[in-house]
């Protein structure tokens, strides 16, 4: 009996045959290939292909980090329609701003839990000055020099550059000198101008978002990048977004990881109430892995996917689970059903059950401990 079969024997979607050939021969995929992959109903072939590419990049390893998110304020001048976390009104009962001491207390707890990273993002506060933001970084670095500070999305960097009347380069250099270690990927949403006009009309556009990341890369900082999906965007707009990231990465190579963020639909002004489906989540992870041949890691962000889909995604091309997080606000203001933090032991179990090898990493993917 012949047991050796090819992927094509199992594939139920003939439209995928040419794309499968390209993936197996290492050829770069096009916009049209990306759309075909999103539109297929053959989820298992898609997952198998993405897992193959994941294994070429990181073998059986799946990464996690002991980290803490800190969101210094949710008061924000932007008023994005999709965002349930921020408020434009300082008198809103949910409005808050942390003092430096409160931020340091949170970092102190993180360090006591073995954290190697703090991830800091928040609102564009109408009264805070550049020095206030700079001070957050400086104080953290002075008190906890061992912590990697991943802070301020491109949207915040743009705001800070205006406050300080500095160029992007000068702003990032000042933050780097204060102790900034890398940039997080938030604020990308969907790059399409059509979508941005609907969901975030006041936010910087994709050109500035990528310009800021590329500037950071040229200054020696790494960064991550994201895509918020499952609201008003089309499949074509998702593929376009992913390919713009691939193009920027060709230029600088500074992105460590891509994070598809599943839209959480409560408490927003878009009138959206539906969560993304499990199939859509898995397809988005897999297509991202296949299109982004030049980005080392794809994150299965358990906060927004939920633990169960995040775990399955580890066999659909993802090789990173983010981390312990310790205090998640952005997704939970918007109705996320996941816990607001994770124990390291649980992340290890989720990864092992997916038949992968858990690796505790630092922000830049240096290995801290392999759990064989
Ligand atoms: O920029 C806001 C998104 C981002 C909602 O860089 C929402 O490693 C879903 O970027 N539903 C912040 N998403 C989170 C983020 C992130 C998270 C984890 C790791 C990294 C990384 C980055 O969350 C925002 C926005 O794009 N967001 N509201 C919502 N209702």
65 lines ligand 1 (CB under 6 A): no
Q: Which pLDDT value is given to residue 8?
A: 81
Atom 30 of ligand 1: nearest residue by CA position: 264
In the chain, the largest separation of any two C-alpha atoms, in whole Å, equals 74
Q: How far apart are CA 89 and CA 344, in angstroms?
A: 37
Q: How far is the CA of 133 from the centre of ligand 1 (A)?
A: 20
Tens of pLDDT, residue by residue over 153-198, are 999 999 999 999 999 999 999 999 999 999 999 999 999 999 999 9
**Per-residue DSSP letter, 81:** T
- Regarding the domain delimited by 54-370, which CATH topology (the fold level of the hierarchy) does it fall under? TIM Barrel (3.20.20)
Q: Which pLDDT value is given to residue 1?
A: 52
69 lines ligand 1 (CB under 6 A): no
Q: Tokens 């550059």 label which residue?
A: 161
Q: Which pLDDT value is given to residue 185?
A: 98
3-state helix, strand, coil in the chain (%, to 5): 45, 15, 40
Residue spans per domain, the chain: 54-370
Q: Which pLDDT value is given to residue 158?
A: 98
Q: Which pLDDT value is given to residue 2?
A: 63
Q: How far is the CA of 262 from the centre of ligand 1 (A)?
A: 9
> What Cα–Cα distance (Å) separates residue 240 from each residue in 191, 218, 231, 284, 297?
8, 24, 16, 13, 19
Q: How far is the CA of 37 from the centre of ligand 1 (A)?
A: 24
Closest CA to 72 of 101, 37, 97, 42: 97
Q: Give the count of beta carbons closer than 10 Å to the beta carbon of residue 27.
A: 13
In the predicted model, residues of the chain with pLDDT beneath 70 are: 1-2
Q: How far apart are CA 137 and CA 147, in angstroms?
A: 11
């Amino acid at each position: 009996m012949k047991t050796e079969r090819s992927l094509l024997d199992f594939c139920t979607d003939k439209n995928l045959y040419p794309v499968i050939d390209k993936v197996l021969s290492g050829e770069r995929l096009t916009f049209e290939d990306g759309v075909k992959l999103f539109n297929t109903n053959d989820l298992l072939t898609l997952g198998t292909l993405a897992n193959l590419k994941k294994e070429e990049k990181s073998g059986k390893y799946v990464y996690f980090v002991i980290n803490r998110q800190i969101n210094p304020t949710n008061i924000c001048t932007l008023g994005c329609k999709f965002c349930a976390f921020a408020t434009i009104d300082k008198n809103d009962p949910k409005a808050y701003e942390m003092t430096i001491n409160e931020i340091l207390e949170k970092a102190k707890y993180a360090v006591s839990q073995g954290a190697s990273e703090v991830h800091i993002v928040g609102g564009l506060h109408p009264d805070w000055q550049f020095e206030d933001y700079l001070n957050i970084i400086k104080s953290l670095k002075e008190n906890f020099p061992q912590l990697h500070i991943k802070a301020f999305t491109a949207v915040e960097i743009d705001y800070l550059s205006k406050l300080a009347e500095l160029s992007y380069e000068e702003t990032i250099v000042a933050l780097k000198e204060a102790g900034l270690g890398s940039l997080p990927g938030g604020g990308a949403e969907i790059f399409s101008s059509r979508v941005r006009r609907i969901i975030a009309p006041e936010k910087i556009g994709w050109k500035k978002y990528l310009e800021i990341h590329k500037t950071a890369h040229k200054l020696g900082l790494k960064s991550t990048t994201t895509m918020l999906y499952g609201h008003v965007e089309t499949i074509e707009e998702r593929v376009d977004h992913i390919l713009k990231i691939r193009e920027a990465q060709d230029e600088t190579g500074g992105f460590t990881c891509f994070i598809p963020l599943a839209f959480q639909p409560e408490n927003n002004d878009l009138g959206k109430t539906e969560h993304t489906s499990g199939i859509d989540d898995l397809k988005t992870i897999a297509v991202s892995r296949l299109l982004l041949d030049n980005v080392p890691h794809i994150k299965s962000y358990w906060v927004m996917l939920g633990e169960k889909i995040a775990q399955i995604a580890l066999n659909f091309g993802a090789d990173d689970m983010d981390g312990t997080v310790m205090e998640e606000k952005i997704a939970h203001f918007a109705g996320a059903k996941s816990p607001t933090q994770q124990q390291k032991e649980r992340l290890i179990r989720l990864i092992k059950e997916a038949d992968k090898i858990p690796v505790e990493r630092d922000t830049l993917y240096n290995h801290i401990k392999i759990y064989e």
